[in-house]
Amino acid sequence: MYAHENRLTAWHIGIAFVALMVGMLLGPLQTWEHAGLNLYPALRSIGIQSYYQGLTIHGILNALVFTTFFITGFLTFATTHSLKRASKYPWVHTLALVVMFAGLLITAVPLLLNGATVLYTFYPPLKADPAFYIGLTLVVVGSWITGYGLLFTWSAWKKENPGVQTPLIAFASLITMVMWQICTVGVAVEMLALNIPWSLGLIAGTDPQLARTLFWFTGHPLVYFWLLPAYISWYGMLPKQAGGKLFSEPLARLSFWLFLILSTPLGLHHQYVDPGIPAGWKALHAVLTYSVFFPSMLTLFNVVASLEIAGRARGGKGTFGWIRALPWSEPSFTAQALAGILFAFGGISGIANASYDLNLVLHNTAWQPGHFHLTVGTGVAFSFMGIGYWLIPKLSGKELWSKKFGIYQAWTWFVGMILMSNGLHILGLRYSVPRRSALGVAPYASAEWTPFLIESALGGTILLISVVLLYVNYGMTVFAGKKLTREIEMPVAENAEGMPSPRWLDTWRPWLLGAVALVLVAYGPVIYILLTRLNLTSPGFRVW
């Protein structure tokens, strides 16, 4: 029944994991370079000209390409399987995939030819080849089209099922896609009004302060676009995989609504130390940033409580005995559970970043990559790897090659990431070590940093082992796995309360209006101020 959706998802996820493999292989090289083992001269022969070209590829492939392809594929799969309805217009999804893939190819050319060594934030007036901006824009447009396809399917489902509450997984997937529609307006305007015409020479100069603001309008909610699919799995699937139920479905729904409202109007927390933005607006975004912490706190409680139901159902006793009773021999569970634990620590270091004035100590230090490898690098990417442990067998029709490899992969990721991120956090906090820098050849590098650079490099090395274990396992599954003899279903957690959520949690209008209103209040005046100070004088530089 879902042949088209499954095939399509397989393409999305296949492209995503290939991109992630290439992107991740550069990660350990970065940690080694920092610690004094510089392999970049050797990479020239395969076309990587510098640390920074490698870092651009690492950021673009991991944080933009992997995430977007995985999420569009996974949410298409999750929505149709959750509604138990095939897509209304399968061609819309095919079109989306074609547009995204074309975008990826167009971006890849300058990226690999060293024509776009601008890092994944592409801050002007670093000026990449136009193809770079055009390709990335197409990837985003393709992801919009996926969202439209899901909305068509859902409205068809609504007509066929009047009065029925949308199942949680489909509901949360749709919210994620709608949030993405709202928040990508920023980067779309940046690309279409500034970057693309400027890189084509149609306008002579650009305004870096305005471009940064438009970028971060999208750039913060982008992290929720990454995170919400992991939450969908943690709420909607993981409890079932662990043998339990979802503790509170209504509060799960409430937290997705809160994310819809609160994800976008707070991007200025990336710009606390930008010169062109008044302090009052920064403070407003700081408070809003704290508030988006709340739905994550709801999630923490709800997911842990659901896992406790599972552990007790499996015979776990006592205050902590239920934890041991969880299915730690299942790679999909273990990866996601460990991802959740590290994500919680990433949340704590994020609170420090969000803190208006504490950020003065941390902004653009090594603390930042320490923080976001726990969040997007682990909470999200590691969860997606865990989802891959059931989804790749499902889509390929092959049994997972080795559970044992999966368990080793999960624990090596956990240990490697603790070491790397701990080292990076300390370097940033204690020594103000700048991020995005080839520290191994920096004249200011200090001997005091060495122990922590080595700790981080050790972490990077263990992570490399984890990456190898992951891809051997995925590869052997797909290309040499035994044929599945059973049907794998998408795990769907039951609602422990056994009754539907209140109606007001199933009504779109107030939440949607709230989301748009809050964006207008938090960003309208800021954009207005920036337009009154519009300064289109930066000509563009190629400094790599």
List the single partner that 356 binds among another protein, Cu ion, ligand HEM, none, CB under 5 to 8 Å by kind. another protein
Q: Which residue is catalytic, options 34, 81, 363, 373?
A: 373
Q: Is 166 in the site for another protein (CB under 8 A)?
A: no
Please select the residue that binds another protein; options are 32, 70, 198, 247, rule is CB under 8 A. 247
- Cα dihedral 239, 245, 249, 252 in deg (nearest 10): -20
Q: Which residue is catalytic, options 51, 69, 215, 372?
A: 372
Binding mask 54-73 for another protein (x = CB under 8 A): --------------------
What does each C-alpha distance from 515 to 75, 224, 232, 251, 508 come to in angstroms?
Answer: 21, 14, 20, 19, 11
Residue 372 annotated in active site: yes
Write out the DSSP string of 497-542: T-SPPPGGGG--HHHHHHHHHHHHHHHHHHHHHHHHT----B--B-
Q: Which residue is catalytic, options 220, 253, 269, 285?
A: 220
Query: Among the candidate windows 178-186, 218-226, 319-327, 507-515, which touches Cu ion by CB under 5 A?
Result: 218-226
Q: Is 314 in the site for ligand HEM (CB under 6 A)?
A: no
Residue 12 annotated in active site: no
Helices and strands per DSSP (H, E), number in the chain: 21, 0
Nearer to ligand HEM, 99 or 118 (CB): 118
Please select the residue that binds another protein; options are 202, 320, 443, 509, rule is CB under 8 A. 443
Please select the residue that binds another protein; options are 71, 260, 439, 457, rule is CB under 8 A. 439
Residue 220 annotated in active site: yes
Please select the residue that binds ligand HEM; options are 376, 392, 515, 530, rule is CB under 6 A. 376
Q: On the CB side of 154, how many CA atoms lie within 13 Å of its CA?
A: 25
Nearer to Cu ion, 21 or 288 (CB): 288
Helices (H), 247-330: 249-262, 279-313, 318-324
List the single partner that 220 binds among ligand HEM, Cu ion, another protein, none, CB under 5 to 8 Å by kind. Cu ion
Ranges within 404-423 binding ligand HEM (CB under 6 A): 420
Q: On the CB side of 316, how many CA atoms lie within 13 Å of its CA?
A: 21
Please select the residue that binds another protein; options are 434, 475, 514, 525, rule is CB under 8 A. 434
Please select the residue that binds another protein; options are 12, 363, 373, 425, rule is CB under 8 A. 363
| Local structure of residue 190 (DSSP, 8 states) | I
Amino acid 262 reads L
Cα–Cα distance for residue pair 230/223, rounded to 1 Å: 11
Cα–Cα distance for residue pair 9/55, rounded to 1 Å: 28
Residue 36 has a CB neighbour count (10 Å cut-off) of 14
Q: Is 363 in the site for Cu ion (CB under 5 A)?
A: no
| Shortest Cβ 538–Cu ion spacing (Å) | 16
List the single partner that 47 binds among another protein, ligand HEM, Cu ion, none, CB under 5 to 8 Å by kind. none
Nearer to ligand HEM, 240 or 270 (CB): 270
Amino acid 359 reads N
CB-based burial label for 518 (10 Å; 0-12, 13-18, 19+): middle
Q: Is 282 helix (H, G, I), strand (E, B) or coil?
A: helix
List the single partner that 484 binds among Cu ion, ligand HEM, another protein, none, CB under 5 to 8 Å by kind. none
Q: Is 381 in the site for ligand HEM (CB under 6 A)?
A: yes
Nearer to ligand HEM, 30 or 349 (CB): 30
**Cis before 510 (ω within 30):** no
Q: On the CB side of 482, how many CA atoms lie within 13 Å of its CA?
A: 7
List the single partner that 27 binds among ligand HEM, another protein, Cu ion, none, CB under 5 to 8 Å by kind. ligand HEM
Residue 2 annotated in active site: no
Nearer to ligand HEM, 98 or 344 (CB): 344
Q: Is 220 in the site for Cu ion (CB under 5 A)?
A: yes
| Local structure of residue 440 (DSSP, 8 states) | G
Q: Is 373 in the site for ligand HEM (CB under 6 A)?
A: yes
Q: Is 163 in the site for another protein (CB under 8 A)?
A: yes
Q: ∠ CA 329-335-338 to the nearest 5 degrees?
A: 105
Cα–Cα distance for residue pair 204/537, rounded to 1 Å: 8
Buried b (16+ CB within 10 A) or exposed e, 369-387: bbbbbbbbbbbbbbbbbbb
Contacts of 308 (CB under 8 A, 6+ apart): 244, 247, 322
Ranges within 45-74 binding ligand HEM (CB under 6 A): 55, 58-59, 62-63, 66
Tell me which H or E stretch contains 172.
Answer: helix 168-183
Ranges within 444-463 binding another protein (CB under 8 A): 444
Task: Take residue 401 and report the two structure tokens written for it.
Answer: 């090659």
Q: Is 471 in the site for ligand HEM (CB under 6 A)?
A: no
Q: Is 371 in the site for Cu ion (CB under 5 A)?
A: no
Q: Which residues of this protein are in contact with ligand HEM, per CB under 6 A?
A: 24, 27-28, 30-31, 55, 58-59, 62-63, 66, 119-120, 369, 373, 376-377, 381, 420, 435-437, 460, 463, 467
**Residues identified as active-site:** 220, 224, 371-373, 435-436
